[in-house]
Amino acid sequence: LKNNKVNIKFVDRYGKLHEAKATVGDTLLDVVIDNDLNFESYGVCEGTISCSTCHVILDQATFDKLEEPLMDEYDMLDLACGLTDTSRLGCQVHVTREMEGVTFTLPIEITDARGV
Ligand code: FES
């Protein structure tokens, strides 16, 4: 691969599949914005780890390859609806080359930890 783009997919809250071009090093939140995916209320705190609306569910293999989340991310995930063992905040996950073809799933329900 000469360029720094990988193809990833998102399954939205309604079960619909969306394809996206992702730049290596960007966050999943960046990818959602850059691809105009317009997921309702996704990433409303703009990556400041204070809303949990960017919650995504990863496949186990992809999850295992990532670095440990920061404490702040764990705290925020604890407040997220539908938390799973492979949940992460999309604003804290950076795209890697190994993510080519990977699908990220949005939980059916979201909570905005800011309470708005
Ligand atoms: Fe708010 Fe990620 S965008 S916690």
What span, in angstroms and rounded, lies between the C-alpha atoms of 29 and 101? 17
Among the listed residues 115, 113, 109, 48, the one whose alpha carbon sits nearest the alpha carbon of residue 83: 109
Nearest CA owner, ligand 1 atom 4? 49
Ligand 1 atom nearest to 92, measured from its CA: 2
pTM score above 0.90: yes
Residue 58 is given by DSSP the state -
Ligand 1 atom nearest to 45, measured from its CA: 1
In the predicted model, is pLDDT for residue 2 greater than 60?
no
The whole-number pLDDT of residue 107 equals 93
What span, in angstroms and rounded, lies between the C-alpha atoms of 63 and 85? 9
Percent of the chain at pLDDT above 90? 85
ipTM of the complex: 0.99
The whole-number pLDDT of residue 77 equals 94
Work out whether strand 103-105 and strand 5-11 pair parallel, antiparallel, or are unpaired. Answer: parallel
Average pLDDT, the chain: 93
Residue-wise pLDDT tens digits, 49-84: 999 999 999 999 999 999 999 999 999 999 898 899
CB of 76 closer than 6 angstroms to any ligand 1 atom: yes
Residue-wise pLDDT tens digits, 85-95: 999 999 999 99
User: How would you list the strands of the sheet with 5-11, edge to edge?
Assistant: 17-23, 5-11, 103-105, 55-57, 87-89
Q: 54 burial class (0-12, 13-18, 19+ CB within 10 angstroms)? A: buried
Among the listed residues 56, 65, 67, 61, the one whose alpha carbon sits nearest the alpha carbon of residue 11: 56
